[in-house]
A and B are shown apart, each in its own frame.
Chain A
Amino acid sequence: MAITTVPGATRKPGRPTPPYAGPQRTSLGRKVRDNLTGHAFLIGAVLCFVVFSWYPMIRGIVMSFQRTRRGETTWVGWDNYSRIIADPSFWPAWQNTLYFTLLALVLGYAVPFFVAILLNEFRHAKGYLRILVYLPVMLPPASALFLFKFYAYDPSEAGLFNAILKALHLPTSQWMQSPEMTMPAMVVASTWMNMGGAVLIYLAALQNIPGELYEAAELDGAGIWRRIVNVTIPQTRLILALLAMLQIVATMQLFIEPLILANGAGTEDSATSVAYLIYQHGFFQNDLNGAAALGVIMLVVLAGFSAAYLRLSAKQD
């Protein structure tokens, strides 16, 4: 049996040293064998990444410059891109998606943060409130959206929202049948379904803020609002930044909300999203290459967002 040293004593925190002895004690054969064992454990997951993630990534880009007709694939340059951009739904889809992303940032991003701040102050009913907020996240999205479609957004006065508006003597709405209300209504449904995860992550971050900071701020005469601005937000900046990015990536993929709430396109393309257009081209119009091109456009736009965002946050530091 090979004798190994225990490297634990000299371990630096956060960066564990290799588990086996240093290289001076291992023979080449042993090193090769250890590496082979390591890769043997990795192979299953790596193969799945290769086949279902890394390879499709490259294939998507390749496909966007090809056209397959009757089993024959040819290179067509930018044809797929010009065809997809010429689609009359192309610009409405981007407009809707960006509008949704913006609305979702206002509602789906700010609301969970303030809900988390509020919940963090309570000393009672904490568990109950937490479960309530997260409960909708566990519903299958199709279930939750049928609930909104049939009950909440029923355009007649039998609908839940219209009944409430009427009881409050406010004007009722046509919801999904009115082009102006389509996007806000989808954001409300989407926020209800998804905000639980963000609230819990914020709560965990809030609990890591040292209490002394608030105490010091209070001694300096800072009110509640100033304490939020000068202590809470800077202390949770990293999480806030991370979730903003994740949220933009998630909302840009808006798909099931238009599909179920608005039967896809909605009235006058008021609900068409980029993701829905990808689905339409790829799986209904038999235009997988055009859909791949739109996918690449989406990736480029998101990469642009990320780059701009990284520059902005680098400047702030």
Chain B
Amino acid sequence: MSESLLGMPPGRVDADVGDASVTLTVDATVYPLPAVYAAAYCFIARCYVLLDRGDGDTLRVVLTGKQPMDAAALRALVGEFGNELLASAWRREITRQNRGLIESVTMQAFGGAMGPPSLDDLEAFDFTDEPFDDPLGIAQSWEEKYRKPKPAGDPEAP
């Protein structure tokens, strides 16, 4: 049975204490889907998370306790989810703005830590793996691309 939680805006946060669940209605123009995903991902170890579309530009996030939870525990859960959601949305924007700096430091850190591949590493490399789709045949050799098809019936024809 749906009820409001103390200190939480009804309609935005509705709880079903008997079911140990709480439903948040999230404005997707404020909290974009990747931020909702990021916050949800952090919580799937602690509770059950189900996402749905709500009215207009809203998303519905249902958090359900893995064990019975009282109203105070649900309030704490939804409060923490709200904090994580805000942090995720803000982090996404910051990461976009500082992408160049973050990428450059990260690339140098991994380049520095990994070093060049050794012969053992190259030996273990799977060169048969298709690196990417090549519909235009850009990676094909000239001979492969333009050679004449072999006559029908040729057992070696490709």
Q: Do A and B come from one complex?
A: no
